[in-house]
């Protein structure tokens, strides 16, 4: 295992992201996930800056058992003109009981003079005093040199002086921060190499002090910048899960670790933990309530999803032909997307993914694949989009494969009226006629809109034969007008997302009439739900 530190700041810098607000319980849950991922350090927050972070450290001391990671408390050097021993925020760092304290310090003369409004020497004294005090109290101290790269450009000697002040006072890590996130890889590499040389801290061995890197993503280069810094001598790398962070975020730590480990052979976390990274990234998204970004490298839902027919035909021979690595290494899966860009191989692979083995050398199977492909292309021309409605594609395919889709029910007709009452809101009423198990069923449902009324009526009509549908919940309904040039005559596409409490699926309906499109998507949604639950035809 490499000696390089993997330092996570999701709970501190990640929490600085717009719209992200974590409770103490959320922070404890995320800390457990990070520990399972195998990071070396978890920066829990800034105790003393707000009651929530103070409470997090208090509860972590009793409620959080970390198997792998060490908890770090973040804070700043003492106030100008004061003393570390009496500074209330420094005291709060000690009170947090964290064995590691990460101190943010100024290393840019402009920030010293204009933001701190103090002298260069006093800033160095603030660093020395705070680091020595915390070391004297038995804490390991890491330094976040804020605005280091910009400061280095303005006054290299002073930026290095700030690092020396920390190192000579006992700081173990000197993390160079691209606080404004404006750096590019070549510049980062040059500066880190120069600093490593100037301070004699190249590599983790032979010296007590290590260089670290902390990058923001304002140029879209945070991961690349972190990688280059490691190549240039940094042995401590900071980042956040899912790249959360202020403005455009921080370096995505999972991407950095996967790159270093899977591309450069630097063993940072045990392989079985890296295989948990997709699950953990998604679990953390659930806690933060920030939707998982599907195109995130390695862990995104689309990271190994293939749409183009040519890709599928090569993947059929060997997945490596169109994948940079085996998705299992990061706990992700390969997926085939079906659309009008699909070819026969896409359909065959998708069928296999769905547990339907079609033999391309068999004439009947081959004709079936060709038929399905032609239908997909024709339907996509008319406005369908199967890569957003996997469940509808599965139903389309199964309808072609004999015996693969039970006839759960047959629709005779439906209608819906909306009544604008003289007092109160307009109310919709739908009537649905279906046949199940040879019996004709007619039911009426009400709703606050026509689609809601149709949904209620369909459920009522199916409830006796299929009580299982009680667990199905319509969680999203999206409408798109496909040919705006025609105004109200345009074709409407409806996508419905349904959940059974365990998983979700998307179905589609396309028609000139919005209610017809909605009804088709609803019927597909319920049919797929019954299929998934393996309900027998009644």
Ligand X SMILES: CC(=O)SCCNC(=O)CCNC(=O)[C@H](O)C(C)(C)COP(=O)(O)OP(=O)(O)OC[C@H]1O[C@@H](n2cnc3c(N)ncnc32)[C@H](O)[C@@H]1OP(=O)(O)O
- Contact residues for ligand PYR, defined by CB under 6 A: 13, 104, 144, 146, 177, 179, 214, 216
**Residue that the structure tokens 């020497």 belong to:** 121
| Shorter beta-carbon distance to ligand X: residue 214 or 316 | 214
The interface region with ligand X, picked from 45-53, 149-157, 205-213, 506-514 by CB under 6 A, is 45-53
φ, ψ at 477 (rounded to 5°): -140, 115
Restricting to residues 116-135, which ones interact with ligand X according to CB under 6 A? Answer: 116, 126
Q: Identify whether the C-beta of residue 428 lies closer than 8 Å to the C-beta of residue 445.
A: no
Q: How far is the CB of 49 from ligand X (least distance, A)?
A: 4
Helix axes 344-353, 309-317, angle to 10 degrees: 60
Q: Which is nearer to ligand PYR, 109 or 462 (CB)?
A: 109
End-to-end, the C-alpha distance of the chain in Å comes to: 58
- How far apart CA 198 and CA 354 sit, in angstroms, is 59
- The residue length of the chain stands at 538
Distances (CA, A) of 492 to 13, 240, 386, 496, 523: 43, 41, 15, 13, 16
Q: Which two tokens stand for residue 353?
A: 């993914």
Q: With CB under 6 A as the rule, give the number of residues binding ligand X.
A: 14
For ligand X, the binding residue among 23, 50, 86, 418 (CB under 6 A) is: 50
492-499: strand order across its sheet = 473-481, 492-499, 504-511
> Cα separation of 432 and 454, whole Å?
7
- The 3-class SS string of 78-109 reads CCCCCCHHHCHHHHHHHHCCCCEEEEEEECCH
Taking CB positions, which residue lies at the least distance from ligand X?
49
| Minimum CB distance to ligand X, residue 466 (Å) | 53
Query: Site map for ligand X, 138-157, x if CB under 6 A?
Result: --------x-----------
Q: Which is nearer to ligand PYR, 5 or 214 (CB)?
A: 214
SS (H, E, C) 377-408: HHHHHCCCCHHHCHHHHHHHHHHHCCCCCCCC
Q: Tell me how far, at minimum, the Cβ of 343 lies from ligand PYR, in Å.
A: 47
49 is an interface residue for ligand X by CB under 6 A: yes
Per CB under 6 A, 21 contacts ligand X: no
214's contact among ligand PYR, ligand X, none, with CB below 5 to 8 A by partner kind, is ligand PYR
115 binds, among ligand X, ligand PYR, none (CB under 5 to 8 A by kind): ligand X
What does the per-residue mask of binding to ligand X show for 75-114, with x meaning CB under 6 A? -xx-x------------------------xxx--------
Residue 346: strand, helix, or coil? helix
- Binding partner of residue 49 among ligand X, ligand PYR, none, CB cut-off 5 to 8 Å per kind: ligand X
Name the residues that contact ligand X, by CB under 6 A.
46, 49-50, 76-77, 79, 104-106, 115-116, 126, 146, 179
């Amino acid at each position: 295992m490499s000696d390089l530190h993997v330092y996570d700041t999701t709970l501190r810098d990640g929490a600085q992201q717009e719209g992200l607000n974590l409770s103490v319980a959320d922070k404890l849950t995320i800390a457990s996930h990070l520990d399972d991922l195998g990071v070396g350090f978890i920066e829990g927050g800034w105790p003393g800056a707000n009651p929530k972070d103070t409470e997090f450290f208090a509860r972590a001391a009793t409620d959080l058992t970390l198997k792998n990671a060490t908890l770090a408390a973040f804070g700043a050097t003492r106030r100008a003109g004061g003393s570390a021993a009496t500074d209330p925020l420094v005291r709060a760092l000690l009170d947090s009981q964290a064995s590691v304290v990460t101190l943010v310090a100024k290393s840019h003369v402009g920030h010293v003079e204009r933001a701190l409004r103090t002298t260069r020497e006093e800033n160095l004294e603030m660093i020395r005093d705070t680091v020595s005090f915390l070391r004297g109290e038995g804490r390991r101290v890491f330094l976040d040199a804020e605005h280091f790269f910009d400061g280095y450009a303005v006054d290299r000697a002073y930026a290095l002086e700030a690092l020396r002040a920390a190192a000579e006072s006992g700081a173990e890590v000197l993390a160079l921060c691209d606080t404004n996130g404006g750096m590019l890889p070549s510049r980062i590499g040059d500066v880190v190499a120069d600093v490593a040389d100037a301070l004699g801290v190249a590599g983790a061995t032979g010296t007590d002090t290590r260089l670290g890197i902390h990058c923001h993503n304002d140029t879209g280069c945070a991961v690349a910048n972190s990688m280059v810094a490691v190549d240039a001598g940094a042995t401590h790398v900071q980042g956040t899960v899912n790249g959360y962070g202020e403005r455009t975020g921080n370096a995505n730590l999972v991407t950095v670790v996967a790159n270093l480990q899977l591309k450069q052979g630097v063993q940072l976390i045990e392989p079985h933990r890296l295989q948990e990274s997709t699950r953990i990234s998604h679990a953390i998204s659930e806690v933060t309530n920030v939707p998982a970004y599907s195109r995130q490298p390695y862990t995104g839902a689309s990271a190994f999803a293939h749409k183009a027919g040519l890709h599928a035909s090569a993947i059929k021979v060997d997945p490596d032909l169109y994948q940079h690595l085996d998705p299992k290494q990061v706990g992700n899966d390969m997926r085939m997307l079906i659309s009008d860009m699909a070819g026969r191989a896409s359909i065959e692979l998708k069928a296999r993914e769905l547990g339907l083995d079609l033999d391309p050398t068999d004439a009947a199977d081959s004709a079936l694949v060709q038929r399905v492909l032609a239908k997909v292309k024709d339907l996509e021309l008319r406005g369908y989009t199967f890569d957003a409605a996997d469940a509808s594609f599965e139903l389309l395919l199964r309808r072609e494969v004999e015996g693969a889709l039970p006839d759960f029910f047959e629709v005779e007709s439906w209608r819906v009226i909306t009544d604008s009452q003289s007092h109160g809101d307009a109310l919709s009423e739908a009537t649905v006629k279906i046949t199940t198990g040879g019996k004709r069923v007619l039911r009426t449902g009400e709703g606050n809109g026509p689609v809601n009324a149709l949904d209620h009526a369909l459920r009522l009509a199916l409830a006796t034969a299929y009580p299982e549908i009680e667990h199905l919940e319509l969680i999203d309904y999206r409408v798109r007008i496909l040919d705006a040039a025609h105004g109200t005559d345009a074709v409407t596409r409806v996508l419905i997302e349904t959940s059974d409490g365990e998983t979700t699926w998307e179905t589609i309906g396309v028609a000139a009439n919005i209610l017809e499109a909605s009804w088709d998507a609803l019927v597909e949604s319920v049919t797929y739900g019954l299929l998934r639950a393996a309900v027998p035809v009644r």
